[in-house]
Amino acid sequence: MAGGVWSSAQAVNNAGQVVGTSVLSGGYGRAYLWSTGIMTNLGTLGGSSSTAYGINDYGQVVGTAGTPTSGQHAFLWNNGAMTDLGTLPGGRSSYARAINASGQVVGNSTASGGYKHAFLWSNGIMADLGTLEDNGHTYAKDINASGQIVGSSNSHAILWSEGNMIDLDPISGKRSEAEAINDAGQIVGTSSAWGNARACLWSDGTMTNLGVLPGYAASDAMDINSNGQVVGWSHNSIYEERASFWSNGNITDLNSVIESDLDWQLQRAMGINDSGQIAGYGLLDSSTHAFLLTPVPSTPVTIDIKPDSDNNSINLGSNGKIPVAILSTDDFDATTVDPATITLADAGVLMRGKGDDWMSSFEDVNIDGLLDLLVHIDTQALVLDDGNMEAQLTGETFDGLSIWGTDAISLVGKSARKFMDPSISEGTLFPMATAVPEPGTLILLVTCMPMLLGLDVQRRKR
C-alpha cells in the first residue's frame, strides 16, 4: 500500500484474494484487499485506522474500522462500500472476524457492563451469543457454511451449533480457544491441556494435540481448509516464531519449503484455502510483510527407503547413510530426476569423494526391467522425530518438473526426539488430503506500492 511501513495478512479465500492490514507511514493501519496483484485500501468508517480479518468467496470483507467518535466498529465491505455493523446494546466498540457465503458475520462487541460478547450479524441484525457464565468475555472467531460458530468464552473453546453453546474442553479445565471451523465441522485452535499451549483439532467429539515443531515449546493453529490441512505457528520460550503446516499427521516448518536465500523468516501462517494457498506474515529485511504461499504443482512418485529392508528402521544417531530409490514406472522415468534437487526429510544427497559428484546411480532396484534412481542420504541430516511415521522426498527433474513421494519409516535408538505428547495415538487421526502440496512460490504483498500497485514474486525452493 502506498506509503506503507509494514503489512500482515489475516485470511485468504478460494479465489486467492487476501485481506489484512498495512500500516502507513503515519502509524495508522488500513484494511486492504489484495487481488490478482492489486492491493486496495478499504478505507475507514470516518476514523483514522482499520483492519480486515475475514473474507468469503464472494469477496465480501469484514473487520473493524475507526469512527468519527474514535471508537472501533465492525464493518462489512462489499463492492467498494463499507457498512458500519454497529455494536451490541450498550457497547462502544466491535470487531468482525469472519463471514460465510451467506453473508453471516461473527465477531465480538462490548456490551452493557463493560464485558465483550460474541455476536452473530445476519440480515442487518446483531445478536448477542451469550456466555458460559453470567459474566465474562466471549469471542466469536469463525463461522462455516452451516452457520456453526467457534470462539471462546471465559478462556474456554466454544462451539455454537443449532442454538446450543458447547464447551469443547470441559475436562481439563485449562485455557483453550477455537480459531476456525471448516464445512465438515472440524475445528482448530489452541489448548493448554497438555501443559504448554498446543495447536489442537476437535473432530467428532475428540480433542487431538497436533504437536509442535522440533525444538519449540508451544504452537497455535489458526485455520483449517476443507481437506483438513491446518496452518498456524510454533514458538519457543522467547517467542521466536515459525510458520507451521499440519497435514497427514505431520508438521512442516514453512521456512523449509522456500529458498533460504530469500532472507524470509515466515512467522505466522494465518489462513489456508482449499487449493492450499497460505497467507500470513513474517520478517523480510527486519520488517514485517504479508506473504502468500502458492503450492507448486508436483507429480507423485514411488520411493523405496532402504530397498533391502522390510521395516525401514532409521537410527538418527548413526553416522551412516540411507539408500533411497526413486522407482521408474510406465508413466515416469526416474533417470530424469536431478540428484542435486532431492531432499528426504530436509536432508540432501551425499557427495562422493572430494565433493565433485553426487552419491547416486541407476539400478533396476525392484527388478521390473526399468532403471531406477538410487541415492544416498546423510542420516544425521534428517529432520525427523518420533511423531513421524513416514518420510517425504521432494525433488525436480532436469526439465523442472517437481516431484514428491513418501515411504513408511520406523525410528529407533535413543536419538529419536519427541515433539508430540505421549497422549497422542499413532496413525492419521482425522481426514487429510492424500497429497501434501509443497508451498513453494512465495508472493510478497508489498507494503509500499506506488499507485496501490505492485507485486514482488520470489522463487520457489529448488
Strand duo 402-408 + 390-396: pairing? antiparallel
Between 28 and 443, the higher pLDDT residue: 28
pLDDT above 80 (res 202): yes
Q: Are residues 105 and 234 in the same domain?
A: yes
Which amino acid, one-letter code, is at 39? M
Q: Is residue 426 part of a domain?
A: no
Q: Is residue 154 part of a domain?
A: yes
Residues 403-429: tens digit of each pLDDT: 989 999 988 875 543 333 322 222 222
* Residues 156, 293 within the same domain: yes
What is the percent of the chain with per-residue pLDDT over 70, rounded to a whole number? 87
Whether 198 is in a domain gets the answer yes
Average pLDDT, the chain: 85
Q: What is the average per-residue pLDDT within 74-103?
A: 97
Pair (236, 306) in one structural domain: no
Whole domain around residue 212: which residue ranges? 4-298+438-457
Residue 381 has phi, psi (to 5 degrees) of: -90, -10
Question: Which of 115-124, 189-198, 346-355 has the highest mean predicted lDDT (pLDDT)?
Answer: 115-124
Residue 152 has pLDDT above 60, yes or no: yes
Contact 107, 62 (CB under 8 A): yes
Distance CA 327, CA 312 (A): 16
Q: What is the percent of the chain with per-residue pLDDT over 90, rounded to a whole number?
A: 60
Residues 6+ apart with CB under 8 A from 202: 157, 159, 168, 178, 186, 187, 188, 189, 208
Q: Could you give phi then psi for residue 379, rounded to 5 degrees?
A: -60, -45
pTM: 0.75
Distance of CA 460 to the CA centre of its chain: 17
- Is the same domain home to 207 and 355? no
* b/e 110-132 (16+ beta carbons within 10 angstroms → b): bbeeebbbbbbbbeeebeebebb
CATH of the domain at 385: 2.60.40
Instruction: Give the residue among 365, 344, 361, 343 at the shortest CA–CA distance from 352.
Output: 361
Q: What is the mean pLDDT of residues 174-190?
A: 96
Helices and strands, number each (H, E), in the chain: 0, 42
Q: Does the residue 420 lie in any domain?
A: no
The secondary structure of residue 439, as a DSSP letter, is: E
Q: Identify whether residues 84 and 194 lie together within a single domain.
A: yes
Angle at 222 (CA atoms; ends 57, 196), nearest 5 degrees: 170
Q: Which three cell numbers stand for residue 98?
A: 469472519
Does residue 431 form part of some domain?
A: no
Q: What pLDDT, on a 0 to 100 scale, did the predictor assign at position 133?
A: 76
> Strand, coil or helix: what is 133?
coil
Residue 196 lies in a domain: yes
pLDDT at res. 422: 27
Give the sheet arrangement for strand 347-348, strand by strand. 298-300, 402-408, 390-396, 343-344, 347-348
pLDDT attached to residue 419: 32
Q: Is the pLDDT of residue 149 over 80?
A: yes
Residue 51 in domain: yes
**Nearest-5° angle of CA 454, CA 58, CA 280?**
50
Which is higher by pLDDT, 284 or 456? 284
Q: Give the number of domains in the chain.
A: 2
| Main-chain dihedrals φ then ψ at residue 334, nearest 5 degrees | -65, -20
Instruction: Please check whether residue 59 is in contact with residue 52, taking contact to mean a CB–CB distance below 8 angstroms.
Output: no
How does pLDDT run across 15-40, given as a tens digit for each residue? 999 999 998 877 889 999 999 888 89
For 267, the 3-state DSSP assignment is: strand
292 and 388: one domain?
Answer: no
For 102-116, what is the mean pLDDT? 93
Q: What is the mean pLDDT of residues 46-64?
A: 97
- Strands in 164-167's sheet, in edge-to-edge order, are 138-143, 149-153, 156-161, 164-167
pLDDT at 228 over 50: yes
- What is the per-residue pLDDT for 418? 34
31 found inside a domain: yes
One domain for residues 26 and 128: yes
Task: Report how far residue 396's alpha carbon sits from residue 148's, in angstroms, rounded to the nearest whole number.
Answer: 42
What secondary structure does DSSP assign to 224-256, as a single string? E-TT--EEEEEE-TT--EEEEEEETTEEEEGGG
* Residue 379 scores a pLDDT above 70: yes
DSSP for 272-333, please give it.
E-TT--EEEEEEETTEEEEEEEEEEPEEE-EEEESTT-SS-EEETT---EEEEEEEP-SS--
Please tell me whether residues 10 and 49 are part of one structural domain. yes
- Same domain, residue pair 196 and 113: yes
Same domain, 264 and 316: no
151 and 91 in a common domain: yes
Query: What pLDDT does 449 receive?
Result: 23
The total of other beta-carbon atoms located within 10 Å of residue 358's CB is: 17
pLDDT band for 455, please (50, 70, 90 cuts).
very low
> DSSP 3-state assignment of 13?
coil
Per-residue confidence band for 345, with pLDDT thresholds at 50, 70 and 90: confident
Using a 10 angstrom Cβ sphere, with 0-12 exposed, 13-18 middle and 19 or more buried, the burial of residue 226 is: middle
**pLDDT reported for residue 260:** 65
The answer to whether residues 398 and 453 belong to one domain is: no
The C-alpha angle with vertex 295 and arms to 29 and 387, in degrees rounded to 5, equals: 100
Instruction: Give residues with Cβ within 8 angstroms of 422, minimum separation 6.
Output: none
Q: Are 207 and 221 in contact (CB under 8 A)?
A: no
Q: E-assigned strands of 94-175?
A: 94-99, 105-110, 116-122, 125-128, 138-143, 149-153, 156-161, 164-167
Q: Which amino acid is at 390?
A: E
- Kind and range of the H or E element at 387? none
Contact between 84 and 67 (Cβ < 8 Å): yes
Q: Residue 230 maps to which CATH number? A: 2.130.10.150
